[in-house]
Amino acid sequence: MSAHSPDPFAISARGPLRGTVTVPGDKSISHRSLMFAGLAVGESRIEGLLEGEDVLATAAAMRAMGAQIERGTDGIWTVAGVGVGALLQPQTALEMGNSGTSTRLLMGLIASHPITATFTGDASLSKRPMGRVIDPLSAMGAEFTSSPGGRLPLTMRGLCPAVPIDYTLPVASAQVKSAVLLAGLNTPGITRVIEPVPTRDHSERMLRGFGADLTVEESAQGRIIAIRGEAELSPQQIAVPGDPSSAAFWMVAASIVPGSDIVIANVGMNPTRTGLITALKMMGADIVEQDARTVGGEPVADLRVRHAPLSAIEVPPHLAPTMIDEYPVLFVAAAFAQGRSVARGAEELRVKESDRIAAMVAALAPNGVRLEEFEDGLAITGSGGDPMPGGAPIVSNLDHRIAMSMAVAGLGARDAVTIDDVSPVATSYPGFFPTLDRLTDRQP
Task: Please tell me whether residue 66 adopts helix, strand or coil conformation.
Answer: coil
C-alpha dist (Å) from residue 230 to 110, 184, 192, 274, 311: 14, 8, 14, 34, 52
| Closest C-alpha to 399, from 122, 177, 73 | 122
Model confidence at 340, in pLDDT bands (50, 70, 90)?
Answer: very high
Spatial contact of 93 and 116, defined as CB atoms under 8 Å apart: no
pLDDT tens by residue, 248-260: 999 999 999 999 9
173 is in an annotated binding site: yes
Distance (Å, whole) CA 207 – CA 180 = 13
Q: Which has more pLDDT, 362 or 294?
A: 362
Q: For position 1, what pLDDT does the model report? A: 40
Q: For position 3, what pLDDT does the model report? A: 55
C-alpha dist (Å) from residue 83 to 93, 210, 281, 319, 405: 22, 12, 44, 37, 40
Distance (Å, whole) CA 423 – CA 412 = 22
Rounded mean pLDDT, 384-406: 96
Burial 232-261 (b: 16+ CB within 10 A, else e): ebebbebbbbbbbbbbbbbbbbbbbbeebe
Q: For position 443, what pLDDT does the model report? A: 62
pLDDT tens by residue, 288-305: 999 999 887 789 999 999
Distance (Å, whole) CA 11 – CA 182 = 42
352 is in an annotated binding site: yes
Please report, rounded to a whole number, the percentage of residues in the chain having pLDDT higher than 90. 90
Distance (Å, whole) CA 127 – CA 401 = 17
Q: For position 321, what pLDDT does the model report? A: 87
pLDDT tens by residue, 38-52: 999 999 999 999 999
- 359: exposed, middle or buried (C-beta count within 10 Å: 0-12, 13-18, 19+)? buried
The yes-or-no verdict on residue 352 having pLDDT over 90 is: no
Model confidence at 353, in pLDDT bands (50, 70, 90)?
Answer: confident
Model confidence at 205, in pLDDT bands (50, 70, 90)?
Answer: very high
Q: For position 5, what pLDDT does the model report? A: 83
CA atoms within 13 A on the CB side of 124: 24
91 is in an annotated binding site: no
Rounded mean pLDDT, 261-265: 98
Q: For position 355, what pLDDT does the model report? A: 93
302 is in an annotated binding site: no
Phi-psi region of 281 (alpha: psi -120 to 50; beta: other; left: phi over 0): alpha
State yes or no: is 122 an active-site residue: no
Q: For position 144, what pLDDT does the model report? A: 98
175 is in an annotated binding site: yes
pLDDT tens by residue, 302-313: 999 999 999 999
Please report, rounded to a whole number, the percentage of residues in the chain having pLDDT higher than 70. 99
Model confidence at 222, in pLDDT bands (50, 70, 90)?
Answer: very high
Q: What secondary structure does DSSP assign to 103-142, as a single string?
A: HHHHHHHHHTSS-EEEEE--TTGGGS--HHHHHHHHHTT-
356 is in an annotated binding site: yes
192 is in an annotated binding site: no
- Residue type at position 104: R
Q: At residue 372, what are phi and psi to the nearest 5 degrees?
A: -130, 130
All structural domains of the chain:
9-25+241-439 (3.65.10.10), 27-239 (3.65.10.10)
Task: Calculate the CA 406 to chain-centre distance.
Answer: 18
Task: Please tell me whether residue 47 adopts helix, strand or coil conformation.
Answer: strand
The yes-or-no verdict on residue 343 having pLDDT over 90 is: yes
Rounded mean pLDDT, 159-165: 98
The yes-or-no verdict on residue 226 having pLDDT over 50 is: yes
- 74: exposed, middle or buried (C-beta count within 10 Å: 0-12, 13-18, 19+)? exposed
228 is in an annotated binding site: no
Q: Which listed residue (122, 201, 302, 325) is catalytic?
A: 325
Q: What angle do CA 159, 124, 47 make, to 5 degrees?
A: 70
The kind and range of the H/E element at 389 are: strand 388-390
Rg (CA), the chain: 21
Longest dimension (CA), the chain: 61
The yes-or-no verdict on residue 159 having pLDDT over 50 is: yes
Rounded mean pLDDT, 431-437: 97
Q: What secondary structure does DSSP assign to 193-249, as a single string?
A: EEESS----HHHHHHHHTT--EEEEEETTEEEEEEESS--B---EEEPPBPHHHHHH
Q: For position 2, what pLDDT does the model report? A: 46
| Closest C-alpha to 103, from 140, 146, 67 | 146
